[in-house]
């Protein structure tokens, strides 16, 4: 889901806004976050909420809630990566995380209609927030 959002944002946002895609372990992005003025992250979540539910968390000053999951024994999850970046002083002052409640999590699964709708909602929300932040 995050990759779909990133690709749509890349088409909609100005070139001055860097849009990154990352599959797998997100710790590889920590160094790129260090120079960012603000950061919006989008990921799939599985918290038990209805599929297509959009979660928005301001993680600028605190840890992500458990619903954003933990990584496997081999990988860091998004919450752990944000915490690590904060500890390393590589996290921008403003960090907003959008989680889209998934319905199917197998590799190659198509997005269901509820999740597609949530993707569109998150794209609109991120565009609006980025525009508001860059107008200052």
Tell me which CATH code domain 2-134 carries: 3.40.50.1450
The per-residue pLDDT for 102 is 87
The per-residue pLDDT for 108 is 62
Q: Encode the chain (136 residues) as per-residue pLDDT tens digits.
A: 788 999 999 999 999 899 988 776 778 889 888 889 999 999 888 888 999 999 999 999 888 887 665 554 446 788 888 999 999 999 999 999 999 998 876 666 688 899 999 999 999 999 999 999 988 6
Q: What is the dihedral of CA 10, 11, 14, 17, to 10 degrees?
A: 0
Asked if 85 contacts 97 with a C-beta cutoff of 8 angstroms, the reply is no
Closest CA to 95 of 84, 105, 103: 84
**Can you tell me the distance from the alpha carbon of 83 to that of 67, in angstroms, rounded to the nearest whole number?**
15
Distances (CA, A) of 102 to 26, 66, 95: 18, 15, 22
How distant is the alpha carbon of residue 101 from its chain centre? Answer: 12
Distances (CA, A) of 134 to 11, 17, 38, 68, 99: 17, 9, 10, 27, 23
């Amino acid at each position: 889901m995050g990759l779909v959002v990133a690709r749509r944002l890349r088409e909609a946002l100005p070139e001055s806004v860097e849009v990154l895609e990352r599959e797998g372990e997100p710790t590889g992005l920590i160094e790129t976050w260090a120079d960012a003025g603000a950061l919006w992250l989008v990921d799939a979540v599985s918290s038990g909420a209805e599929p297509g539910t959009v979660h928005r968390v301001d993680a600028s000053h605190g840890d992500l809630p458990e619903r954003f999951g933990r990584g496997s024994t081999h990988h860091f999850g998004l919450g752990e990566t944000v915490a690590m970046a904060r500890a390393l002083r590589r996290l921008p002052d403003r960090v907003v995380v959008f989680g889209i409640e998934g319905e199917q999590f197998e590799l190659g699964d198509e997005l269901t209609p509820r999740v597609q709708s949530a993707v569109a909602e998150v794209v609109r929300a991120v565009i609006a927030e980025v525009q508001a932040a860059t107008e200052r």
